[in-house]
Amino acid sequence: MLVWHAETAQDFYDWILMGFMVAEQPDVHLPIAICCDGFFVTHTKDVVNLTPVDMCLPPYDPYRSPVHCMDMECPPVRMMRDPFVMKSNYISYATHASWQQEVRAAVERSRKHTIPMIGGLIDTENTDAEILIVSSGTAVSQGREAIRLLADEGLRVGLVKIKSLRPWPYHEIREATKHAKHIFVPEFNVAGWMAREIKATIADSDRVIAGPHVAGGMTMPPEVIVEHIQRSLGKSVATLAGRGS
C-alpha cells in the first residue's frame, strides 16, 4: 500500500484525487491510503480549492494492469498460478513472502509517479540551519508556529515536511538534513516511530532527538515544541504550567 500523510485539509482533498492516478498506474496497481491526523483535520472546518467542474480523472484501462482483470475469459480461479491453499503450509508462507516482496517493489515503482504528482516527497524550508524540525501531518503545522516563536528568541530553525511514508524519501531526507546538528521530530504518537525511521535513514543518527510526543487525539501546542528544543539545547526555560501565573 502507498501511504501519504496530509498536513492540511487542502492536502487531504488534493491527494485523494492524485492518489487514484498513481495507484492505477500499470506498474504500481496498489491501494493508496491518504492519512490525516484525527480531530485536527478530520473534525475541523477549512476552506479548500476545488478542482474545476470539467476536470476528470484519467481513464483507467483494467487490461493494462499487472494481472489480468476478472471477466468471463479469466475467472478468479485462473489467476492463481500456484494454488498454494491446497498445498503445504511451507508453500503458503513462501507465497505470502513473495507477495510482500512484490508489494514493496510496487511501492518503489510508484516513486517516479508520486514525485511529480505531489511535488516531491518532502517540502523544506531553511535546511541550512543547524536546527531542524522534521515531521509529517499536522505536527508540521505546529512545527511552523514553533519556528516562528523560536525566531523571536533569536534561534533560526529549518523545517522538513515529510509528505509520503510509502514510498519513503530516503535520499531526500539525507540531503535535507546533511547540514543539521540537531534534528527534532515532534509526533502525535507516544511510540516515536518516525524518529526511529529517520535515525535509520541518515548518517550520524545521534543528531535525531525524538519528540516531543503526545498520545493520539491530544493537542501539541507549539510552546511544547519550543520548550523541548530549548531544554535539549541546554537552555533554561520556565515550565508551561508556571506561565501566566
pTM of the model: 0.84
Measured at the alpha carbon of residue 159, what is the angle toward residues 156 and 160, in degrees to the nearest 5?
155
- Give the pLDDT confidence of 69-103 residue by residue, as tens digits: 666 666 655 455 555 555 556 666 776 777 788 88
Measured at the alpha carbon of residue 140, what is the angle toward residues 136 and 144, in degrees to the nearest 5?
160
Residue 160's pLDDT is what? 98
d(Cα 180, Cα 156) in Å, to the nearest integer? 12
Calculated CA dihedral for residues 234, 240, 243, 245, nearest 10 degrees: -130
- Give the pLDDT confidence of 210-242 residue by residue, as tens digits: 989 998 778 899 999 999 999 999 887 766 555
Q: Where are the beta strands (DSSP E) in 39-130?
A: 122-125
| Range with lowest mean pLDDT among 12-21, 65-74, 145-154 | 65-74
Three-state SS at 222: helix
Matching residue, cell 535535507: 176
Phi/psi for 211 (5° steps) reads 105, 175
